[in-house]
Amino acid sequence: MKIEEEIKQGKFQSEYHKLAINLTFTANWLTRQVTQGLKPFKLTPQQFNVLRILRGQHPNPASINLITERMIDKMSNASRLVDKLLAKELVERTTCPLDRRQVDVKMTKKGLDLLAKIDIESKNWDDNLKTLSKKQAQELNLMLDMLRS
């Protein structure tokens, strides 16, 4: 459906203004899809992002700074997210032996197992994007990268 129909607005200040609204609307639509998909696993998209970062580091630990650098949502508080994942026993936190001011965070087996279950379900989430061909998805990825550069 066209953005004009979605938000019931016929005119925009410019094509660039329309693009900004369309990108924001689409990003929120996608976030809602992911949020709904993660609900059965009792995770937020931000917590899921931290778990994926840690899985990428596994079996090595990651510092809070590394997690923060790699987060998709730069406004998230990585320390608070790690605390919530710690309470769910999905991660473990230790003091770095080389720098006592640094905290190391690692995935637990329970965290790895949960991500394996989510991986199976998340294939269904990608189906929402398959209205685009693989070539169109590649082109859109390229354009979005250009937009941010």
Taking each helix axis from N to C end, the angle separating 15-38 and 45-57, rounded to the nearest 10 degrees, works out to: 80
The confidence score (pLDDT) of residue 42 equals: 96
Chain segment 98-128, per-residue pLDDT in tens: 777 788 999 999 999 999 999 998 888 888 8
Q: What is the pLDDT of residues 23-67, one digit of tens each?
A: 999 999 999 999 999 999 999 999 999 999 999 999 999 999 999
Using CA atoms of 139, 144, 146, 147 in order, give the dihedral in degrees to the nearest 10.
140
CA distance 4 to 79: 40
Kindly give the interhelix angle for 78-87 and 45-57, rounded to the nearest 10 degrees: 90
What are the residue boundaries of the structural domains of the chain, listed by start?
A: 1-40, 42-117
* Residue 81, number of CB atoms within 10 A of its CB: 24
Radius of gyration of the chain (CA): 19
The answer as to CATH 3.40.605.10 being correct for domain 42-117 is no
Threshold 0.85, pTM exceeds: yes
């809070």: which residue's tokens?
64
CB contact at 8 A, 28 and 47: no
Neighbours of 30 (CB within 10 A): 14
pLDDT digits 0-9 by tens, 76-89? 899 999 999 999 99
- 103 - beta bridge partners? 95
Name the token pair of 23: 């990108």
**The pLDDT value given to residue 76:** 86
Average pLDDT over the chain reads 92
CA quadruple 112, 118, 120, 125: dihedral, nearest 10:
-150
